[in-house]
């Protein structure tokens, strides 16, 4: 499986570099060497025990190494904006930043830079030099190494000191191709001291071919900065989404990451939040609604390296049919991270006998003055609650729905953009009702 990519790189690394940026090329050969050594991860690895990528990786995907423009204008066809929320809207088509920006986006606050990594490499090389690969290059992981070798571009956002983005930034990833396609991208997000930003990442697929996305996102949150990261996955079941989100938190910063999988094929979200300063707040939430033969593995770590920080983690899964869910939640408290308060919860509901859930919370604690806990449950809907509701005249189906919705509700409540919260509530309800959860008015998805 690896060999075709090794051959591809060996034959075409010149073109790959030519169509990328120096900051990205700097780490490329080393990443490739790492990939040659590690290969793609298999279930034999403890960290990939519950994600079997063999089938997804056996497909012969095309890569757009020569960066041929994709003939689609997302602004014409994409009306997926959340009603009532004004955002700075950007598109990535496959793994390329869509160059034409929405006119509304011109009112970005002073100093804020949003664009493609490649473009920023030319205009602000110093920014990329300091940050690109800083978190990802330390990881020993076959998927991250692959990304380092093949990613040629990505989304870039920079928020300067004390600048507050008044509206969320919305990044819509559209997968569009006529043949089975692999997109490889590497995003960089930088918040300087005291900056505030919210990013909403939406994943969509347009064509009925097989897609594989390998995306690495590095986020740097400086002192006192506040960052919210929302990811809404709503793709088709031929999509394999391999996403790595690495967040580094400096002192007194506040980070919320909320990843919601409404519809997908195979998803692996690796999320690691490194808390590297004191007095940080960290929230990591997620929700999965899976049916048919969907697979979702959220592999998360919160690493407390400094004292006096709080973190909360909450993941909920509702699995039907043949869906397979996996959750790993590593809570690591380093020796000196005293007074850490870290709480993790994972709750899962299986609606059918054929659905499967694997959960692996873990606490690794090296400091003594801490309060840490985790709780995990796997079960089905509460029969006594169902009967109670039916006794009040609510039909069995409606009662089930209400319970499922209530079950996922506390994840939705962790969305701090009210309009987005309403919108996701509506989407989740539709999804649970078995109606198509495609965004209303979205022409592309039809």
Partner 1 sequence: MLEIKNLHANINGKEILKGLSLSVNAGEVHAIMGPNGAGKSTLSSVLTGNPAFTVTEGDVTFNGKNLLELAPEDRSREGIFLSFQYPVEIPGVSMVNFMRTAVNEHRKYKNLEPMSASDFLRMQREKKELVEMDNKLANRSVNEGFSGGEKKRNEIFQMAMLDPKLSILDETDSGLDIDALRIVANGVNKLKRPDNASIVITHYQRLLDYIVPDFVHVLYDGRIVKSGGKELALELEERGYDWIKQEVDGK
Partner 2 sequence: MSADILQEVTQNDYKYGFTTDIETDIIPIGLSEDVVRLISKKKNEPQWMLDFRLKAYRHWLTMKMPEWAHLNIPEIDYQSIAYYAAPRKNAPKSLDEVDPELIKTFEKLGIPLEERMALSGIAVDAVMDSVSVKTTFKESLGKLGIIFCSFSEAVENHPDLVQKYMSSVVPYTDNFFATLNCAVFSDGSFVYIPKGVRCPMELSTYFRINAINTGQFERTLIIADDDSYVSYLEGCTAPMRDENQLHAAIVEIVAMKNAEVKYSTVQNWYPGDKNGNGGVYNFVTKRGICKGENSKLSWTQVETGSAITWKYPSCILLGDNSSAEFYSVAVTNHHQQADTGTKMLHIGKNTSSHILSKGISAGVSQNSYRGLVKINPAAENARNFSQCDSLLLGDKCGAHTFPYMEVNNDTAIVEHEATTSKINEDQIFYCNQRGISTEDAVGLIVNGYAKDVINKLPMEFAVEAQKLLQITLEGSVG
Which residues in this chain contact partner 2 in the complex, by CB under 8 A? 46, 335, 338, 348, 350-380
CB of residue 48 vs partner 2: minimum separation in angstroms? 13
CA atoms within 13 A on the CB side of 299: 17
Q: What φ, ψ does residue 199 adopt, rounded to 5°?
A: -125, 130
Q: Could you give the CA distance from residue 420 to residue 314 in angstroms, rounded to a whole number?
A: 19
Two tokens at 234?
């709503």
402 binds, among partner 2, partner 1, none (CB under 5 to 8 A by kind): partner 1
390 binds, among partner 1, partner 2, none (CB under 5 to 8 A by kind): partner 1
Helix axes 142-150 and 28-38, enclosed angle (nearest 10)? 140
C-alpha 285, offset from chain centre = 11
Cα–Cα dist 136/369, whole Å:
31
Helix (H, G, I), strand (E, B) or coil at 425: helix
**Position among 85, 363, 403, 419 found at the interface with partner 1 (CB under 8 A):** 403
Nearer to partner 1 by Cβ, of 161 and 410: the residue is 410
Which of 42, 101, 338, 409 touches partner 1 (CB under 8 A)? 409
59 vs 386 by CB, closer to partner 1: 386
Check residue 406 for interaction with partner 1 (CB under 8 A).
yes
C-beta of residue 266 within 8 angstroms of C-beta of residue 53: yes
Establish if 417 lies at the interface with partner 1 (CB under 8 A): no
Place of tokens 């590690």: 38
Q: In angstroms, what is the minimal distance from the CB of 353 to partner 2? A: 5
* 26 class by beta-carbon count within 10 Å (0-12 exposed, 13-18 middle, 19+ buried): middle
Looking at 202-210, 306-314, 362-370, 406-414, which segment touches partner 1 (CB under 8 A)? 406-414
Q: Which is nearer to partner 2, 25 or 338 (CB)?
A: 338
Q: Which is nearer to partner 2, 85 or 367 (CB)?
A: 367
Q: What is the nearest approach in angstroms of partner 2 to the Cβ of residue 395?
A: 21
Please, which of residues 96-135 interact with partner 1 by CB under 8 A? Answer: none
Half-sphere exposure of 288 (CA within 13 A, CB side): 33
Q: In this structure, what token pair is assigned to residue 60?
A: 């012969």
Based on the shown chain and the rule CB under 8 A, indicate whether residue 393 belongs to the binding site for partner 1.
yes
- Residue 250 CB, shortest distance to partner 2, in Å, is 24
Closest contact distance (angstroms) between CB of 47 and partner 2 is 11
Provide the minimum distance between the beta carbon of 318 and partner 1 in the complex, in angstroms, as a whole number.
13
Segment near partner 1 (CB under 8 A); pick from 214-222, 303-311, 318-326, 385-393: 385-393
Whose tokens are 């071919």? That residue is: 209
18 binds, among partner 2, partner 1, none (CB under 5 to 8 A by kind): none
Cα dist from 191 to 111, 159, 187, 251, 291, whole Å = 12, 5, 13, 13, 37
**Are 364 and 332 a contacting pair, CB within 8 Å?**
yes
- Considering CB distances under 5 to 8 angstroms, the limit depending on partner class, which of partner 1, partner 2, none binds residue 355? partner 2
CA distance 200 to 231: 6
Binding site for partner 1 (CB under 8 A): 382-385, 387-396, 398-399, 402-403, 405-407, 409-410
């Amino acid at each position: 499986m690896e060999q075709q990519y090794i051959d591809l790189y060996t034959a075409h690394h010149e073109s790959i570099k030519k169509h990328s940026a120096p900051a990205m090329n700097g780490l490329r050969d080393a990443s490739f060497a790492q990939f040659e050594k590690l290969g793609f991860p298999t279930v034999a690895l403890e960290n990939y025990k519950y994600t079997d990528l063999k089938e997804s990786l056996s497909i012969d995907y095309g890569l757009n190494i020569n960066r041929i423009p994709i003939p689609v204008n997302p602004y014409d066809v994409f009306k997926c904006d959340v009603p009532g929320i004004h955002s700075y809207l950007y598109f990535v088509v496959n793994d390329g930043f869509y160059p034409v920006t929405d006119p509304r986006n011109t009112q970005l606050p002073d100093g804020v830079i949003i664009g493609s990594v490649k473009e920023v490499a030319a205009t602000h090389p110093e920014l990329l030099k300091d940050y690109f690969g800083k978190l990802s290059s330390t990881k020993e992981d076959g998927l991250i190494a692959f990304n380092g070798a093949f990613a040629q571009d990505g989304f870039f956002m920079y928020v300067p000191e004390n600048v507050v983005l008044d509206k969320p930034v919305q990044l819509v990833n559209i997968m569009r191709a006529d043949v089975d396609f692999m997109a490889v991208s590497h995003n960089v997000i930088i918040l300087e001291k005291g900056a505030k930003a919210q990013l909403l990442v939406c994943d969509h697929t347009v064509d009925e071919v097989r897609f594989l996305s390998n995306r690495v996102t590095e986020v740097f949150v400086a002192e006192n900065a506040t960052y919210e990261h929302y990811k809404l996955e709503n793709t088709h079941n031929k999509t394999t989404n391999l996403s790595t989100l690495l967040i580094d938190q400096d002192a007194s910063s506040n980070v919320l990451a909320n990843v919601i999988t409404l519809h997908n094929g195979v998803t692996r979200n690796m999320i690691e939040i490194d808390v590297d300063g004191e007095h940080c707040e960290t929230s990591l939430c997620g929700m999965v609604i899976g049916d048919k033969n969907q697979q979702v593995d959220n592999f998360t770590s919160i690493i407390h390296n400094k004292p006096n920080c709080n973190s909360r983690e909450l993941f909920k899964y509702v699995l039907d049919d043949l869906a397979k869910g996996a959750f790993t939640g590593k809570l690591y408290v380093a020796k000196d991270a005293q007074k850490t308060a870290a709480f993790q919860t994972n709750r899962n509901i299986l609606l059918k006998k054929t659905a499967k859930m694997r959960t692996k919370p873990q606490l690794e604690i090296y400091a003594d003055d801490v309060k840490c806990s985790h709780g995990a449950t796997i079960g089905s809907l509460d029969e006594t609650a169902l009967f109670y509701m039916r006794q009040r005249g609510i039909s069995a189906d409606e009662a089930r729905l209400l319970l499922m919705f209530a079950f996922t509700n506390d994840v939705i409540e962790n969305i701090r953009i009210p309009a987005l919260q309403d919108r996701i509530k509506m989407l989740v309800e539709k999804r649970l009702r078995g109606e198509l959860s495609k965004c209303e008015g979205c022409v592309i998805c039809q």
